[in-house]
Amino acid sequence: MNSASGPRSESGVPHPPSSPSIPLRQRARPATAAELAAIPWLDLLDEAQRERAVQQLQVAEADVGERVCRIGRPATFWFGVVDGLLKMSNDDSSGQAITFTGVPPGGWFGEGTLLKRESYRYNIQALRRSVVAGLPIEAFHELLEGSIPFNRFMLNQLNERLGQFIAAREIDRITDPELRVARNLAALFHPQLYPGVGSLLRITQQELGYLVGLSRQRVNLALHTLAGHGLIRIEYGGLRVLDLQGLRRFPVLA
């Protein structure tokens, strides 16, 4: 795995080499066929619904450190990660930075905020250069009103997300580094919330450190411990999970 480098913000995320002069949404474009194939819920729609959704979907490339969502801004899009890695965090301007979760490929987020038509209560920031897709809020509500399979997908999404955040509160109380890394990794390999990950997650040790709140060196030691138990394999540019259930149960391996 490679370590990230470059100047960092107060939240620990590297600043982009040069901040883009054009806002993210103004850089949006239609999705390619390959990008559409990476959106898990499109196949649940009937032909007419899918065609309308594809026409309204937009994608854009977010630079390292760039914010996709900002606390206090009205929610106007439902966002998903086509490629890359994002993190969801609190407002750290007047206190300690808290990372709620990472969002790897295949993950869609913000549905609760869109359902209530509220403003964002969290920041979403790119940990690496990422391709992000967005569906306008009115198209999102149109699918909720007209597609039973989409509603089932959304109910499952909300249920799994609730379980994820309950687990995140428990992880926050964990002081053992190996256990902390194991629980966070298991969450990033969630097959329902992040179907685009599969068994290999493209992530550096520095990026994982941002998500779990540990130094890159301590993350490195924890990963080698987990690899020694046969739970993961450290590969160039990422991590491969060999035993997801074992990772969730760690340190109880029997």
**CATH number of the domain bearing residue 239:** 1.10.10.10
The predicted structure's pLDDT at residue 13: 52
Nearest to 140 by CA among 101, 119, 112, 120: 112
**Residue 85 to residue 131: CA distance in whole angstroms:** 9
Same domain? For 240 and 153 the reply is: no
Same domain? For 161 and 189 the reply is: no
Q: 162: exposed, middle or buried (C-beta count within 10 Å: 0-12, 13-18, 19+)?
A: exposed
Per-residue pLDDT tens for 6-58?
A: 444 444 555 444 445 788 888 999 999 999 999 999 999 999 999 999 999 99
Q: Which of 117, 145, 167 is the last residue of a domain?
A: 167
Nearest to 10 by CA among 129, 121, 94, 101: 94
| 131 lies in some domain | yes
Amino acid at 18: S
Q: How confident is the model at residue 98 (pLDDT cuts 50, 70, 90)?
A: confident
Within the chain, residue ranges assigned H as helices are: 33-37, 47-56, 111-115, 137-146, 148-172, 177-188, 205-212, 216-228, 244-249
Q: How confident is the model at residue 237 (pLDDT cuts 50, 70, 90)?
A: confident
| 13 lies in some domain | no
Same domain? For 151 and 34 the reply is: yes
pTM for this entry? 0.81
Same domain? For 55 and 155 the reply is: yes
Provide the residue range defining the domain that includes 193: 177-249
Instruction: Check: CB of residue 9 under 8 Å from CB of residue 15.
Output: yes
Biggest alpha carbon distance in the chain?
54
In the chain, the number of structural domains is 2
Nearest to 240 by CA among 180, 177, 183, 189: 189
Q: How confident is the model at residue 189 (pLDDT cuts 50, 70, 90)?
A: very high
Same domain? For 42 and 163 the reply is: yes
Q: Which of 167, 199, 217 is the last residue of a domain?
A: 167
Same domain? For 147 and 39 the reply is: yes
Two structure tokens written together for 102: 């990472």
